[in-house]
Amino acid sequence: MKIIGFAFLFSAVLAFADQSSSESVAVGCADGTKIESIDLEGLKHTKPHVVWRELSHKVGSTFSQKTFEAEKLRLQDLDLFTEITVTCETSASGDSLSSLVSRLSSKLTYHFKEIFRWIPSPDSKTTDRDGFMIGLALANLNVLGEDIRAEVHYRTAVAPFFEKNEYAFYMSSPYFLGLPLGWNIDFTRTDSWDDLRKFKDASWLLSLDVNWKLIPHFSVLGKIVYRYLEKGPGVLPEFGLGFAFDFRDSELDTRKGIYFESGVTHVGVGGSRGENFVEFLEDVRAYYPMGRFVTGATAFIRIRPGDVKHYDYFYHGGTNSFRGLDGPDAQHLGVHEMLLNLEERFVLLERRSASLWGVNFFYGIQLVAGFDASVLWNKGAPGWKNYEGAFYGGLHIVIPALDRIRFEVGYSPDTGKPKFSWGINAKTTTQRWRGR
């Protein structure tokens, strides 16, 4: 998922918002109640089949609170609704109290409050390479009501203005022609000087990523990338295949479960100016809750045997890779990388729905503390000299479209001073595309 660079004046929003809790309460619904009919209410812009394919309850089955809670998490992952509730109109026949529950039947109604669709707004993001960038964006989170997300962006770095520019178009959806074939299209034009890797990044990027859920919890992954570097080797194609096991309770704001992904990508075609290497990627994440506390441990590894040129070196340092450094530099570049993280979250305020001037959204607040480890090297096996570590803490605000806004302070014993940073989206997302 790509970012939408809008940010509310959050304190002002909370002051005027109509707030309500998003607890999973099924009003009037008892476990074991037979479902006679199912209705959907509140879908003004979303087509009903987008919801139906996420539901487990069926007419003729019995209601279960646990099933509804799982349905709600899947529906929240669509990032289309601020609030999802269910109510039952229950009737019974007969006068035997002992068999009354077994003969209860209900009309089940799902109620939805939709998030705003169109977002014309200021745009901003922060990257380890370019720092703080601002610009303009236009996004539609639900094109044609089909859960298709489309965004256009222009951004420029602020130090100095207009020296680093980025133009982007993103489009994605978790389904294609009714099949669970998620897809993401990324078309980006970059025109900037790369201070870290010392080259003029005048490039075009067109990529297609697919995620085909063959069976529950298992997906086949693929990607095709066309990249053109004007001040370099020219065309650099990429082709990748992989697979993923996903046992998380939710893709957004995960509280419990395990995610494992493995992939292989071939980059380049070789030649005197080009590069030619294979990338092996491993992405492992595990989460476990205890009350309001959520413990997460992640490992992200990319090994690149072959001919890797300087314009594709990894860099570490910043909110999207290794917190606690002032930023990446020539001492933090390498061919291979490993990013490790252990994080503890405390859910200070659970997700709540709100409205402001007719605009529906949601928000939540979490306190975080954790430890980052960075391993970056060029040849052979990494050693202790390739390792760095940092502690961090901060505040995360959970909001629509962006997943979260992260305000964090990191401290590395090697530098001996704290470093403030902020970012958008979970780090497990941004660390994968921070180089583009």
Among candidate residues 260, 351, 268, 259, the one with its CA nearest the CA of residue 306:
268
3 has a pLDDT exceeding 50: no
Most confident option among 28-32, 122-126, 286-290, 384-388: 286-290
Residue listed under structure tokens 């990523």: 209
2 has a pLDDT exceeding 60: no
**For residue 56, what are the contacts with CB-CB under 8 A and spacing of at least 6?**
67, 70, 71
d(CA 182, CA 409): 35
* CATH class name, domain 118-433: mainly beta
pLDDT for residue 422? 87
d(CA 337, CA 319): 16
Residue range 159-206, pLDDT digits in tens: 778 788 999 999 999 999 999 999 999 999 999 888 888 888 889 999
152 has a pLDDT exceeding 90: yes
Instruction: Report, as an integer, the average pLDDT of 346-353.
Output: 95
Residue listed under structure tokens 């025109």: 191
Question: Given pLDDT bands bounded at 50, 70 and 90, which one contains residue 10?
Answer: very low
CA distances (Å), origin 203, targets 2, 192, 379, 409: 19, 9, 28, 33
Task: List the beta bridge partners of residue 24.
Answer: none
Residue range 246-302, pLDDT digits in tens: 999 999 999 999 999 999 999 988 665 678 999 999 999 999 999 999 999 999 999
Residue listed under structure tokens 């909001």: 399
Strands 218-229 and 293-303: what pairing?
unpaired
Domain range list for the chain: 10-114, 118-433
Compute CA 263 distance to the chain's CA centroid, rounded to the nearest angstrom.
19
For residue 402, the 8-state DSSP code is T
Residue listed under structure tokens 């693929």: 222
Q: What mean pLDDT, rounded, does the chain reach?
A: 87
Weakest mean pLDDT among 9-23, 318-332, 372-386, 409-423: 9-23
329 has a pLDDT exceeding 80: no
Sign of torsion, CA 344 281 129 334?
positive
1 has a pLDDT exceeding 80: no
pLDDT for residue 401? 84
7 has a pLDDT exceeding 60: no
d(CA 368, CA 353): 22
Token digits of residue 240? 């990748």
* Helical ranges in 354-412 per DSSP H: none
Strands 81-91 and 26-27: what pairing?
parallel
Instruction: Report, as an integer, the average pLDDT of 213-218.
Output: 95
237 vs 101, residue with greater confidence? 237
pLDDT for residue 201? 86
Residue range 89-148, pLDDT digits in tens: 877 655 554 455 555 678 999 999 999 888 777 777 777 777 778 888 899 999 999 999
pLDDT for residue 94? 52
pLDDT over 90 percentage in the chain? 61
Residue range 58-76, pLDDT digits in tens: 999 999 999 999 999 999 9
Instruction: Report, as an integer, the average pLDDT of 33-48.
Output: 94
Token digits of residue 310? 């300087």
Instruction: Report, as an integer, the average pLDDT of 209-234.
Output: 94
For residue 254, the 8-state DSSP code is -
Specify the CATH architecture of the domain 10-114: Roll (3.10)
d(CA 117, CA 143): 8
Q: Residue 355 burial (CB < 10 Å; 0-12/13-18/19+)?
A: middle
358 vs 295, residue with greater confidence? 295
Q: Quote the radius of gyration of the chain (alpha carbons, Å).
A: 24
22 has a pLDDT exceeding 50: no
pLDDT for residue 102? 52
